[in-house]
Structure 1
Amino acid sequence: MEPDPVAPPAGGTAASVSPPPQPSSSLIFLGTGCSGALPDTRCLIRASTPPCAVCSLGLSLPPERNPNYRLNTSLLIDYCHDDGTHKYILIDIGKTFREQVLRWFVHHKVPSVDSIILTHEHADAVLGLDEVWVVQPRNYRNEIKQIPIFLTRFAMDSITRRFPYLVEQKPEDGDEDAQAAKIDWKIIEEDVEKPFVASGLEFVPLPTGAGQLDLLILEANALHGVGDAFSTHLTLSETLDAIKRIRPKRALLIGMRHFFEHQRENQMLAEWSISEGIPVQLAHDGLRAFIDL
């Protein structure tokens, strides 16, 4: 997968790069933030002295021009088939999904979602499932088409408890006027090394020793060890160590909390990239990276 160069946002603008001359696949970053998203409301309703600089910046510009405004981490794959048709594959559908649809589906002219992959069962990955019906494709009679959702058995069990009406394929009791999503739940096998196919695109685990990656998307949740002492998330220094071991052609970072100021950290990463010979930058909401799939 060879990504086209993606320019950093000019003046904080979360805009996409110019499309290539012919049809191409791309990755659209619907959200690049942590579970709580940014700005962190706690920093604004109970302001500290001095106030949180990043969360204050998160309100200083409109979100579409503000890389410090970050929704739940989510990625949309725009997969262009050989015949020029496009299929849209969504990875995770979290608490901020409705805002992501209003902001980035509209901006990038995404009409619907053809399949969904859930990486885990936490709220920032699944609580947007209630809005699935909004982005489902329709047939020639304008009827909602069934959408496949790929997930583990563990995640399926959690979703069955949280969203029984989605599993049963009917509206909640007392809400008979609502539209029920039509979902084809697809359990990913326990053998994580076995690939699966979603909307014609094959997904396989991250290979070990199987050649160089064109693009690595990796979490950087806390800045140089700042954050929860018992967190299972990666700090920036741990992320950069992993990038040095894997040595992709290029890396984009996601999942940042309010320790990361976009322009400041990207300036530091630009210097790191030169010294290590691996281009690394923070991604931002709305970023579109064209890539050969």
Structure 2
Amino acid sequence: MENQNPLQNGALEGAAGNGGRSGDGSALIFLGTGCSSAVPNAMCLIQPSDPPCQVCSQSLSIPPDRNPNYSIATKFPYLVQKKLREGQEVRRVAQLDWKIIEEHYDKPFVASGLKFFPLPVMHGEDYLCLGYLFGEKCKVAYISDVSRFPSNTEYVISKNGAGQLDLLILDCLYKKGSFNVHLCLPQTLEAIKRICPKRALLIGMTHEFDHHKDNEFLMEWSEREGIHVQLARDGLRVPIDL
């Protein structure tokens, strides 16, 4: 069983301390929305096609100060390599507070003052993975690695089940076809229609997704189906009252 952490693949974190809650409200900040092969894709850099991949080429042209990795270098300089000043020593100050879920993955846990409910999903037919349901005022489900929803999990996050989600953050690997361990766009949209959240953001996309063009398609789909769906992006900040 894989115990995915909300700060890993398709990563997001609560803005501000105490689980993202502060006097000015709370927000979700997306730190990584691509798939594990990354964007730009390594093969597009090592063996570029002719013409070159438009998405990977565009990602390389982003100015450093608009690249989310820059928000990280500024706020957490000790996490990236840098030239030390004369006499300065390397400081290793980062620490991890482990929240280990094993046999009791069906029980909620608290992290930074926010309660999380694990959501078992299938990541291929031989692998159990976890998404997470959280939020008291607004309900958010984060599911980054899924190929199929067990009926109990789908009931918990469905409008026709335990209640409508305010936001569903969902896996979407390829634009066409299917894949054995991930949802692809056709299955992702079908799942969204069944679950019927108020809003959905897609994560885990490969470099074949063109953010602007595919969000235009999703906007048309959203107007037709009555569910707002868009591709998430690195650095996206979503204000939401948790």
- Flag whether TM exceeds 0.5 (same fold): yes
TM-score by length of 1: 0.53
Residues 29 and 285 of structure 1 are in contact (CA less than 8 Å); yes or no, is this contact kept in structure 2?
Answer: yes
Q: Does 1:103 align with 2:16?
A: no
Whether 1:197 aligns to 2:198 is: no
Q: Partner of 2:58 in structure 1? A: 57
RMSD value over aligned CA atoms?
Answer: 2.9
Q: Secondary structure at the match of 2:238?
A: strand
Q: Aligned residue for 1:222?
A: 174
> In the TM superposition, what is the alpha-carbon distance from 1:184 to its structure 2 partner?
4.0
> Is residue 290 of structure 1 aligned with residue 203 of structure 2?
no
2: distance between equivalents of 1:203 and 1:36?
28
The percentage of counterpart residues that share the same residue type is 59
The one of 156, 159, 163 equivalent to 1:211 is 163
Q: CA deviation at 1:212?
A: 0.2
- Using a 3 Å threshold, how does the CA distance of structure 1 residues 214 and 269 change in structure 2: closer, same or farther? same
**What's the CA shift for 1:65?**
4.8
Q: By how many angstroms is 1:178 displaced?
A: 6.0
Distance 1:231 1:103, change over 3 A: farther
Structure 1 residues 62-81: aligned runs within 5 Å: 62=63, 65=66
Question: Structure 1 residues 186 and 284 mapped into 2: Cα distance closer, same or farther (>3 Å)?
Answer: closer
Q: Letter of the 2:216 partner, please give it.
A: Q
Distance in 2 between residues matched to 1:283 and 1:41, nearest whole Å: 21
TM-superposition CA deviations, 1:27-69 (whole Å, max 9, x none): 0011111112111121122111222121122223326657xxx
Mapped partners of 2:52, 2:32: distance in 1: 24
The answer (yes or no) to whether the contact 2:73–2:79 under 8 Å persists in 1 is: no
TM-score of the superposition, structure 2-length normalised? 0.63
Which residue in the other structure is 1:242 paired with?
191
CA displacement, residues 85-129 of structure 1 (integer Å, 9 cap, x when unaligned): xxxxxxxxxxxxxx74x42574xxx689xxxxxxxxxxxxxxxxx
Question: Unaligned 5+ residue runs, structure 2?
Answer: 1-22, 81-88, 119-132, 134-155
Q: Return the alpha-carbon distance in structure 1 between the equivalents of residues 92 and 60 of structure 2.
A: 35
Contact preservation (8 Å) 2:33, 2:204: yes
Residues 156-198 of structure 1: CA deviation (Å, up to 9, x unaligned) = xxxxxxxxxxxxxxxxxxxx97637544433224233210001
1:103-182 correspondence runs (5 A): 103-104=71-72, 106=74, 131=79, 179=92, 181-182=94-95
Amino acid at match of 2:71: R
The answer for the alignment partner of 1:173 in structure 2 is: none
> 1 CA distance for matches of 2:166 and 2:65?
27
Q: Kindly indicate whether the alpha-carbon contact (under 8 Å) linking 1:29 and 1:284 is maintained by their aligned counterparts in 2.
A: yes
For residues 246 and 237 of structure 1, the distance between their equivalents in structure 2, rounded to whole angstroms, comes to 14
Shift of 1:257: 0.5
User: Runs of 4+ in structure 1 displaced over 6 angstroms?
Assistant: none
The answer on whether the counterparts of 1:34 and 1:256 sit within 8 Å (CA) in structure 2 is yes
Three-state SS of the structure 2 residue aligned to 1:185 is coil
Structure 1 residues 64 and 215: CA distance shift in structure 2, 3 A: farther
Instruction: Call closer, same or farther: CA 1:252–1:289 in 2, change over 3 Å.
Output: same
